[in-house]
């Protein structure tokens, strides 16, 4: 893996009280650590995490970003960089990101650029972060209304996921996380895709053992892809299934919709486009709708236009020479990328999620 040294595979623990032992086992100790969370996670879990980190670091400092996607900005990262500098952090010190995707991206980005890169630990607390955003070293912020437009690859020294944290999520946040789970299964694990509806009741009831299995299997898909393509030169682009239109919907809604919900809508649009290309049959397309509905994911959106969403896709990071590298579904468990998707195809997929009767 040709990028900064780090760990791909997450360690899944039963409780936060195992965090110190996991850090010791990974050789992660030192002088100073900055525990960075947001104004939700720090009051809820900060003291427990700090107590564990205090067993392996001599000094534990704590910093809270304002919660919310609207605060995923360069100015927020700048505030953490200033705090690191004020506390005297050097190249041998560590940032620990405690939270969901927004916190992990911002704290990871701060660690990537502070002194040209210091060690970061990811402690993801949301479903989206535990199976996707906390893994693989992507960091960054939104810029001028464009999702994750400024960032860096910075592989964490450790990813430590605790399913117990998912019990603190609202139903909306947990549901949105399932958008990323379904995406992961569709692009890389057909058996997981079949497993999900069978265990839907246990998943929605947040059965700890079932959550552990779901996180393990979902994370394994991402780890496998990242290991082969750490800096998204090719195959890693497949992880963006559902994201081109999903991000465009997020922007059109001014980030009022949760990321995972928008990814779910993007999956339905991609499924429709794949069907219209003859890649999947109607039964497969309908089944994808059924699985999304089973987990409460939205299947249409109102208040925005197809043209507005299409325009937003043009600012997607995955543009290559003016064309979108779009991810389509060849079969449940196998995604492929296409560089020849037309605006007419995009509009067909977009209109599909604007039609409540679809």
Q: Residues 240, 251, 318, 352: which is the catalytic one?
A: 240
Q: Which H/E stretch holds residue 152?
A: strand 146-153
**Third-level CATH fold of 171-354:** Dehydroquinate synthase-like, alpha domain (1.20.1090)
Catalytic residue among 243, 251, 325, 352: 243
pTM (predicted TM-score): 0.92
Check if 180 is active-site: yes
With beta carbons less than 8 A apart as the criterion, state whether 250 and 70 touch.
Answer: no
Q: CA 325, CA 19: separation in Å to the nearest integer?
A: 39
Query: Of the listed 2, 5, 116, 344, which one is catalytic?
Result: 116
CATH topology of domain 11-168: Rossmann fold (3.40.50)
- CB-based contacts of 137, cutoff 8 Å, min separation 6: 3, 4, 6, 108, 153, 154, 155, 156, 226, 230
Q: What one-character-per-residue DSSP string does 38-64 give?
A: ETTHIIIIIHHHHHHHTTTEEEEEEEE
Whether 154 sits among the annotated catalytic residues: the reply is no
Among 222, 251, 318, 325, the one annotated catalytic: 222
Q: Is 314 a catalytic residue?
A: no
Catalytic residue among 232, 312, 325, 345: 232
Helices (H), 189-305: 190-198, 200-204, 208-228, 243-252, 259-276, 282-294
Active site (annotated) includes residue 334: no
Q: Round to whole Å and give the CA distance between 354 and 358.
A: 8
259 catalytic residue (yes or no): yes
Which one is catalytic: 32, 72, 154, 247? 247
Nearby residues of 263 by Cβ (< 8 Å), 6 or more positions away:
179, 180, 183, 242, 243, 246
Q: List the catalytic residue out of 7, 119, 138, 325.
A: 138
CA dihedral 194, 200, 202, 203 (to 10 degrees): 90
> For the chain, which residues make up each domain, given as ranges?
11-168, 171-354
Pairwise CA distance, residues 182 & 131, whole Å: 11
DSSP bridge partners of 97: 36, 122
201 is catalytic: no
- Tokens 């999702």 locate to 147
- Print pLDDT tens along the chain (358 aa): 444 556 789 999 999 999 999 999 999 999 999 999 999 999 999 999 999 999 999 999 999 999 999 999 999 999 999 999 999 999 999 999 999 999 999 999 999 999 999 999 999 999 999 999 999 999 999 999 888 999 999 999 999 999 999 999 999 999 999 999 999 999 999 999 999 999 999 999 999 999 999 999 999 999 999 999 998 888 999 999 999 999 999 999 998 999 999 999 999 999 999 999 999 999 999 999 999 999 999 999 999 999 999 999 987 666 665 678 899 999 999 999 999 999 999 999 999 999 877 6
């Amino acid at each position: 893996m040709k990028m900064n040294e780090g760990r791909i595979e997450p360690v899944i623990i039963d409780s936060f009280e195992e965090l110190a032992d996991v850090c010791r086992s990974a050789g992660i100790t030192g002088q100073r650590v900055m525990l960075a969370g947001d104004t939700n996670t720090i009051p809820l879990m900060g003291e427990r995490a700090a107590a564990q980190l205090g067993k392996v670091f001599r000094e534990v400092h704590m910093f809270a970003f304002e919660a919310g996607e609207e605060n995923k900005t360069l100015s927020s990262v700048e505030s953490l960089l200033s705090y690191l500098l004020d506390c005297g952090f050097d190249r041998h010190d560590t940032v620990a990101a405690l939270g969901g995707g927004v916190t992990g991206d911002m704290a990871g980005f701060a660690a990537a650029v502070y002194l040209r890169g210091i060690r970061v630990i990811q402690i993801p607390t949301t479903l989206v972060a535990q199976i996707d955003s906390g893994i693989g070293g992507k960091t960054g912020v939104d810029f001028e209304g464009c999702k994750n437009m400024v960032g860096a690859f910075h592989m964490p020294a450790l990813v430590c996921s605790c399913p117990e944290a998912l019990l603190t999520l609202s139903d909306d946040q947990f549901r949105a996380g399932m958008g990323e789970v379904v995406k992961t299964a569709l692009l890389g694990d057909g058996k997981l895709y079949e497993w999900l509806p069978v265990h839907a009741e246990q998943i929605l009831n947040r059965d700890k053992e079932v959550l552990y299995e779901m996180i393990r299997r979902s994370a394994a898909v991402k780890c496998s892809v990242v290991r082969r393509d750490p800096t998204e030169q090719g195959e890693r682009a497949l992880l963006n299934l559902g994201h081109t239109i999903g991000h465009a919907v997020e922007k059109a809604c001014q980030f009022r919709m949760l990321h995972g919900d928008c990814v779910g809508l993007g999956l339905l649009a991609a499924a429709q486009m794949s069907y219209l290309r003859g890649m999947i049959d109607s039964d497969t397309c309908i089944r994808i709708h059924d699985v999304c509905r089973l987990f409460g994911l939205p299947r249409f959106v109102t208040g925005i236009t197809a043209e507005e969403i299409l325009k937003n896709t043009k600012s997607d990071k995955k543009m290559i020479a003016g064309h979108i590298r779009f991810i389509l579904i060849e079969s449940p468990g196998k995604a492929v990328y296409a560089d020849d998707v037309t605006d007419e195809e995009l509009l067909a997929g977009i209109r599909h999620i604007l039609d409540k009767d679809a």
